[in-house]
Amino acid sequence: MAQGQALLNMKIGSNYLGDNRCEFIVWAPELKEVAVKITAPQERLLPMQKDEAGYWKVTAEGISPGTHYFYKLEGDAERPDPASHFQPEGVHGASQVIDHSTIQWSDDQWSGVPLDEMIIYELHVGTFTPEGSFDAIIPRLRELYEFGVNAIEIMPVAQFPGDRNWGYDGTYPFAVQNSYGGVEGLKRLVDACHQQGIAVIMDVVYNHFGPEGNYISNYGPYFTATYKTPWGMAVNFDDKRSDGVRNYFIENALYWFENCHIDALRLDAIHAIYDLGAKHFLEELSERVETLSQQVGRKLYLIAESDLNDVRVIRDRTLGGHSMDAQWSDDFHHALHTILTGETIGYYKDFGKCEQLATALKESFVYSWKLSANRERYHGNDAKDFPGQQFVIATQNHDQVGNRMLGERLSNLVSFDALKLAAAALLLSPNVPMLFMGEEYGEESPFLYFVSHSDHDLVEAVRKGRKEEFKDFHIEGEFQDPFSQETFDQCILKWEKRQEGKNKALLELHQHLIQLRRTIPALKSLDKQNLEISCSEADKLIQMRRGNQESEIFCVMNFSKQDVTFKPDVADSSWSKILDSADEKWFGAGAKLPEQLNSGQEFTIPPLSFALFGK
């Protein structure tokens, strides 16, 4: 048993040991011969020995950091290391030995950011700045922090083909994208974030490999035909010889935490991680990360993106769950988006009622074993007893914006008043809020899908595939070529707009809402048990009350395009106004609600506005 457990904890890749010594380990259980071929600075061939679990190993002298190498498989094919730490020449080139001890970390006192205090900011390295690099992000960190962000979520940076990609086409999960600055650039960014008080969440993809540079099948049974995914055969997490595959991805997770000081992982589309074994891969992963957390003395988080609406994802392992710390809840986005835009196509056909947004705020999942018209089946289970810090919500993210034909942001679809209302729904909710880069000031540049594959047949397949996806969903507008440099250039943020007119006002409104969330005890606590919500469907009016022993707040949100007269759904009186989005300060038409709110009286709230009261 001890020996079996040891096999599950196998380090892989090139492990530089110092003094020009390096250990190479690769899992290739069905191959008869494997060797390391050093290609630079001087060619050498290093035969490897295979152990009983299928791992090939060799420890070699005279290997300095920066050494380039391939694995030579059965005396023939030369392939990059599937656990390469750097691909300086892209997905088809040689792997490079990295010395992880060279950086001088300055985050010894860093203790992290608690999940329930996070204000997450999702960004794409390539389009967040004109330079499109890790180093170019660093000068903007102070401004992000002063605005209110204390966690950035970086879209995947595993090596992908070319220099333009969302990141989900990565084929080397351990290798940091060369055009962004590689692993050294990432480490500089993480260290700078920690100095600024910002946690770093890394988006990782464990459900598929990208199509170009995907040589991993040359090494072993990384895929299984038992299940199908949108990308083809599923990654092998529970079929024959899956132990090496599971170890590969667990080692990848630990790599980010140990070598790059990442604070949390966002696990992409876990509904496409198929595992019917007695111990699900995610359960095993959470065990290993929990052990590492104890070793490093700070909490390391796992956040799952899931389309399942299933609380087993976050339920404790002792109760049959996977023990993820949190999961995304798309129901909030869909409910809010449909109310504000009126869109009813695609998966939006399941939404459109104001009461669904009220349910998302109160219970996290709208579909909790309810019939879904879009899926044509019952979907989800009940999440209302789980605290808000276990759910990450957003009004925009890379998927919801980028999977539209024109990549329109919410700022292109709704009025300025509606943008302010969306900010309130997000930041006054009892969940963990996530902003998509530029959302805070109403960025209008699109976020389109883009690639830079070198395989022209693959580029054509991508073009055809994206057109097909838009056939029944977001079909308006002219198709934007994913391979075009112009498509990519359109997506670069116009950061300077955050200091102009309405954009500046929207930025300051977000900033003020974040400040209130952090300073008012009733908003700071993400306890849904002390949350009361009512909804008038006819008026599209939501009233929300949150409180604890220290304070109480009352918020009224009008999602209709006309004045609404209402009676506050509170039993007591003397509520003092804290914030009103209709004020001229926020470029509103003028507030109609008084400074003091009393129960039993009727009041009028302007269209597409909100007001926050406290006591």
The answer to the question of whether 455 is labelled as a binding residue is no
Region 35-47: what's the mean pLDDT?
97
Q: Token pair 């152990």 is at which residue?
A: 51
Length of the chain in terms of residues written:
615
Alpha-carbon separation of residue 342 from 17, 209, 420 (angstroms): 59, 36, 17
Per-residue model confidence (pLDDT) at position 474: 59
Short-list 473, 396, 483, CA closest to 433: 396
Does residue 277 carry a pLDDT above 90? yes
Q: Token pair 């506050």 is at which residue?
A: 568
The answer to the question of whether 332 is labelled as a binding residue is yes
Q: Which helix (H) or strand (E) holds 120?
A: strand 120-123
Cα 22 from Cα 58, distance rounded (Å)? 8
Share of the chain above pLDDT 70, in %: 98
The answer to the question of whether 580 is labelled as a binding residue is no
Region 410-430: what's the mean pLDDT?
98
The domains of the chain are located at 2-96, 531-614
Short-list 300, 318, 302, 324, CA closest to 383: 324
Structure tokens at 413: 């679809």
The answer to the question of whether 266 is labelled as a binding residue is yes
239: Cα separation from own chain's centroid = 28
CB atoms within 10 A of CB 101: 10
Short-list 410, 392, 612, 587, CA closest to 515: 612
579: Cα separation from own chain's centroid = 30
Does residue 1 carry a pLDDT above 90? no
Region 140-159: what's the mean pLDDT?
98
Give the dihedral sign, CA 431/432/438/441. positive
The answer to the question of whether 333 is labelled as a binding residue is yes
The answer to the question of whether 246 is labelled as a binding residue is no
What is residue 412's DSSP assignment? G
User: What's the per-residue H, E or C state across 321-373?
Assistant: CCCCCEEECHHHHHHHHHHHHCCCCHHHHHCCCHHHHHHHHHHCCCCCCEEEC
Per-residue model confidence (pLDDT) at position 606: 98
Per-residue model confidence (pLDDT) at position 182: 98
Alpha-carbon separation of residue 597 from 566, 574, 580 (angstroms): 12, 6, 13
The answer to the question of whether 268 is labelled as a binding residue is yes
Residue 509 is which amino acid? L
Cα 419 from Cα 186, distance rounded (Å)? 33
Provide the mean pLDDT of the chain: 95
Strand partners, 391: 327
Per-residue model confidence (pLDDT) at position 475: 60
The answer to the question of whether 459 is labelled as a binding residue is no
Per-residue model confidence (pLDDT) at position 13: 98
Per-residue model confidence (pLDDT) at position 5: 47
Cα 368 from Cα 12, distance rounded (Å)? 41
CB atoms within 10 A of CB 174: 26
Per-residue model confidence (pLDDT) at position 2: 41
Active site residues: 268, 305
Region 345-363: what's the mean pLDDT?
96
The answer to the question of whether 271 is labelled as a binding residue is yes
Short-list 157, 156, 161, CA closest to 213: 161
Per-residue model confidence (pLDDT) at position 8: 59
Label residue 574 exposed, middle or buried (CB < 10 Å: 0-12, 13-18, 19+): exposed
Strand partners, 605: 564
Residue 90 CB partners (closer than 8 Å, separation 6+): 159, 161, 162, 178, 213
Q: Token pair 């295979």 is at which residue?
A: 50
Per-residue model confidence (pLDDT) at position 3: 43
Region 311-326: what's the mean pLDDT?
97
Model confidence at 550, in pLDDT bands (50, 70, 90)? confident
CATH code of 531-614, in short, is 2.60.40.1180
Q: Which helix (H) or strand (E) holds 281?
A: helix 281-296
Model confidence at 33, in pLDDT bands (50, 70, 90)? very high
Residue 615 CB partners (closer than 8 Å, separation 6+): 551, 552, 554, 572, 574, 575, 576
Does residue 321 carry a pLDDT above 50? yes
Per-residue model confidence (pLDDT) at position 479: 87
The answer to the question of whether 548 is labelled as a binding residue is no
The answer to the question of whether 337 is labelled as a binding residue is no
Structure tokens at 423: 């900010």
Region 145-155: what's the mean pLDDT?
98
Residue 135 is which amino acid? D
The predicted-structure confidence for 206-258, as pLDDT tens digits, reads as follows 999 999 999 999 999 999 999 999 999 999 999 999 999 999 999 999 999 99
| Range 261-282 burial, b when 16+ CB lie within 10 A, else e | bbbbbbbbbbebbbbeeeebbb
Homologous superfamily assigned to 2-96: Immunoglobulins (2.60.40.10)
First-to-final CA distance of the chain: 60
Model confidence at 16, in pLDDT bands (50, 70, 90)? very high
The predicted-structure confidence for 471-530, as pLDDT tens digits, reads as follows 655 566 788 999 999 999 999 999 999 999 999 999 999 999 999 999 999 999 998 888
CB hemisphere CA count around 152 (13 angstroms): 29
